[in-house]
Chains A and B, each alone.
Chain A
Amino acid sequence: MTTAPAPTRPRASFDAGEPERDERRRKRRGHLLRLPFYLLALTMIAPFYWMLISVFKTPTELNRHPPSFVPGSPTLNNFYDPDWSATQINPGHLQGVFQRFQVDFGFGRFMFNSLIITIAITVGSLLIASLAAYVIAKHEIKGRRVIFIMIIASMMIPWQTTLIPNYVIMRNLGWLDSYAGYIVPALAKAFVLFFLVQFLQSIPNELIQAARVDGAGEWRIWWQIVLPLLRPALAAMSIFIVLAEWNNFLWPLIIVQSDEMANVPVALARLSSYFGGAQHYGTIMAAGFLASLPTVIFFLVFQRYFTRGIVLSGVKG
């Protein structure tokens, strides 16, 4: 370690400096240039704060003008109101999120649906894409170039182009309103395959060759060697898939008819189209809070992988 108070590493930011200027002035200018962005951060926090406090307000308080910025009498009734009854009107009491839908477990049912669908699609699509990627990257078979180019080309297609025929297919198969309708059409993800192939191409063949010499079959090589090697790439991709599937809206909107089979986004949309008055926004925001909680926690725990995954896919994609 050098002892001299090293000047901050010159970098591409507001700290970039001019010569002949002392450190102090440069720092001051950096702060000055950053100021608008700190103010911008306030406009990021304010909507979230507004959402969060609404979750704990009573219907009366939601209708108050001017609005309160700290809930006067914080309540959890927006999740479940024990004093609400379907048969008699109880002023100041509305159904909580878990009482709004006539399905077992209320909103929990949609969380469960979304969870099942997200896990199935994430695991399933990674498995089949890693199999195909292994073949395309490491097997010398006829047609692999054509297949790969076709898959790359398909990444330029907006998926909405296939929306209507896929809807018709689901209807003909009787898969509307079913888990199969959610999961099966979402399994073959071109960008995942593309990313995995690129990742595998950067891995030397020696390990795989050695396993072959030892007499390991291709399936075993895939399971015991390729999948562990792919782990960082699979982690990056799973983040994208989990976020996309948890928030998927347009496709479920089209294939889901019943309340039972709605995922969280569709349930949220229905909630807000059934109830519009200010007093209902406590419940609606509570539902939004529940919908966001899993992915936000997922993010806060795996924050490092998120940015790395985004950057990795951006650099390669």
Chain B
Amino acid sequence: MGTHTAQPQRARLRRYATSYAMLLPFLALFLAFLVWPLANSLFLSFTDFDGITPARLTGLENFGNLLFEDDRFRHALGNTFIYVLASVVIGTLLSLGLALAFSGSSWPHRIMRTIFFLPSVTSSIALMLMWKWIFFPSDVGLANTVVGWLGGSTVQWLATPSLTIPILVLMSVWGGMGYGMVLYVAGLNTIPGEYYEAARIDGATAWQQFRSITLPLLRPVTTYVVVTGLIGAFQIFEAVYIVFRGTNSVGGVLDSGLMIVPYLYDQGFTHFQLGYASAIAWVLFAIIFVISMINLRLGRAMKEL
């Protein structure tokens, strides 16, 4: 911007002042409610802060407890990893399948896309309550009615520990695959039709076309869907809290649905172990940071290829 140099010093200073003034509202709020809390939470994670008495430094005790002593946390971590892996893998595959099936612009395809996208715009808590009602423990519920048709007997869906994670994965995949589908459809529509034409002339089968044209060209979309899926899945809270929370535990029967954020909530806001809960938050931070870094690395490596 060459005009700057021509301006007298004072006008430039005033422009500077205006620029900073325009930046100020965002920056002030950003510092007050993100940067400062972040630093504060790091500090609290090394203390025994309980929300009332002043925080006392306890060194690495919180992290030591979390990683080596606390069975509930280890359980939560294990549950979260299983849930994340299952929901992201199944969700991504179905998103891709849906996009391949309904990428057209004809009205049946558009209606299908709308149907699959609907959960993304429905109140998430309402959906959780809907599942709670579907998996009602007696035979008046929908799931048990279907089981009844198939000749089975009533299942205590939400009170059977081995069913907890599968149900959470089901809810996540059901609610999320339409969103991935939209991204994949956009990706598919950027692939030039000529590529397929050429492949067809060369005698490539449909499967070969999919393997050597569609999949590689969709790789950026896949990366995006997987990475955002991973980050979102690690932060699961509502499904556990609404559907599985019992009277004395957030994590459902035998903590079978205990995950990182529900455990953070439990420690922080039912037991008021705010220091300990901050340490849990930093473990979550570390996990998501690693995923972001792998993503950056992968992105760079792929550009160099």
A joins B in a complex: yes
B residues in contact with A246, CB < 8 Å: 123
- In the complex the two chains form, is B277's CB within 8 Å of A285's CB? no
B76 in contact (CB, < 8 A) = no
- In the complex the two chains form, is A128's CB within 8 Å of B133's CB? no
A24 in contact (CB, < 8 A) = no
How far, in angstroms, from A46 to B33 measured CA to CA in the complex? 42
Instruction: Please give me the residue from chain A that is nearest to B183 by CB atom.
Output: A314
Least CB distance, A153 to chain B, in whole angstroms: 10
A: interface residue count bin: 35 or more
- A14-B100, A131-B23, A246-B123 as given contacts; A212 in contact with B3, CB under 8 Å: yes
B residues in contact with A209, CB < 8 Å: 1, 3
Instruction: Please give me the residue from chain A that is nearest to B206 by CB atom.
Output: A16
B: interface residue count bin: 35 or more
A284 in contact (CB, < 8 A) = yes
A residues in contact with B196, CB < 8 Å: 10-12, 16
- In the complex the two chains form, is B235's CB within 8 Å of A158's CB? yes
- A158-B284, A161-B285 as given contacts; A37 in contact with B40, CB under 8 Å: no
How far, in angstroms, from A52 to B152 measured CA to CA in the complex? 26
Which listed residue, B1, B145, B217, B288, touches A140 by the CB 8 Å rule?
A: B1
How far, in angstroms, from A250 to B262 measured CA to CA in the complex? 10
A residues in contact with B132, CB < 8 Å: 272
- In the complex the two chains form, is B214's CB within 8 Å of A156's CB? no
- In the complex the two chains form, is A314's CB within 8 Å of B224's CB? yes
A residues in contact with B203, CB < 8 Å: 19
A residues in contact with B100, CB < 8 Å: 12-14
- In the complex the two chains form, is B134's CB within 8 Å of A157's CB? no
Which listed residue, B44, B125, B131, touches A47 by the CB 8 Å rule?
A: B131
The digit string for B130-143, where 1 denotes a CB below 8 A from any CB of A, is 11111010111110
Q: Which residues in window 14-59 of A have CB below 8 A to B? A: 14, 16-19, 29, 33-34, 37-38, 40-41, 43-48, 50-51, 54
Which listed residue, A18, A147, A288, touches B123 by the CB 8 Å rule?
A: A288
- A37-B112, A44-B116 as given contacts; A64 in contact with B140, CB under 8 Å: yes
A residues in contact with B145, CB < 8 Å: 65-67
Q: Which residues in window 158-191 of B have CB below 8 A to A? A: 174, 179, 182-183, 185-186, 188, 191
A134 in contact (CB, < 8 A) = yes
- In the complex the two chains form, is B148's CB within 8 Å of A66's CB? yes
How far, in angstroms, from A151 to B31 measured CA to CA in the complex? 10
A199 in contact (CB, < 8 A) = no
- In the complex the two chains form, is B23's CB within 8 Å of A147's CB? yes
Least CB distance, A30 to chain B, in whole angstroms: 9
How far, in angstroms, from A193 to B121 measured CA to CA in the complex? 23
- In the complex the two chains form, is A222's CB within 8 Å of B22's CB? yes
Instruction: Please give me the residue from chain B that is nearest to A289 by CB atom.
Output: B126
How far, in angstroms, from A287 to B133 measured CA to CA in the complex? 13
Stretch among A85-93, A182-190, A227-235 lining the B interface: A182-190
A200 in contact (CB, < 8 A) = no
| Chain A at the B interface: SS class | helix
Stretch among A76-84, A101-109, A292-300 lining the B interface: A292-300
Stretch among B11-19, B64-72, B77-85, B297-305 lining the A interface: B11-19
- In the complex the two chains form, is B206's CB within 8 Å of A254's CB? no
Which listed residue, B26, B235, B245, touches A160 by the CB 8 Å rule?
A: B235
Instruction: Please give me the residue from chain A that is nearest to B210 by CB atom.
Output: A16
- In the complex the two chains form, is A163's CB within 8 Å of B23's CB? no
- In the complex the two chains form, is A134's CB within 8 Å of B22's CB? yes
- In the complex the two chains form, is A162's CB within 8 Å of B125's CB? no
Least CB distance, B15 to chain A, in whole angstroms: 7
Q: Which residues in window 251-268 of A have CB below 8 A to B? A: 253-254, 264-265, 268
24 sampled A-B residue pairs with Cβ under 8 A: A12-B210, A12-B218, A13-B104, A16-B210, A18-B204, A41-B112, A50-B130, A65-B140, A128-B26, A129-B26, A132-B25, A135-B19, A158-B281, A164-B268, A164-B281, A165-B44, A188-B30, A243-B121, A278-B138, A284-B129, A291-B125, A295-B121, A306-B121, A310-B179
B contact residues vs A (CB 8 Å cutoff): 1, 3-4, 15-16, 18-20, 22-23, 25-27, 29-30, 32-38, 40-41, 44, 51, 94, 97-98, 100-104, 112, 114-127, 129-134, 136, 138-142, 145, 148, 174, 179, 182-183, 185-186, 188, 191, 193, 196-197, 200-201, 203-206, 209-210, 213-214, 217-218, 221, 224, 231, 234-235, 237-238, 241-242, 245, 261, 264-265, 268-269, 274, 277-278, 281-282, 284-285, 288-289, 292
- Shortest 9 CB-CB distances between A and B: which pairs? A288-B126, A165-B37, A10-B196, A132-B26, A188-B29, A162-B37, A165-B40, A291-B123, A299-B121
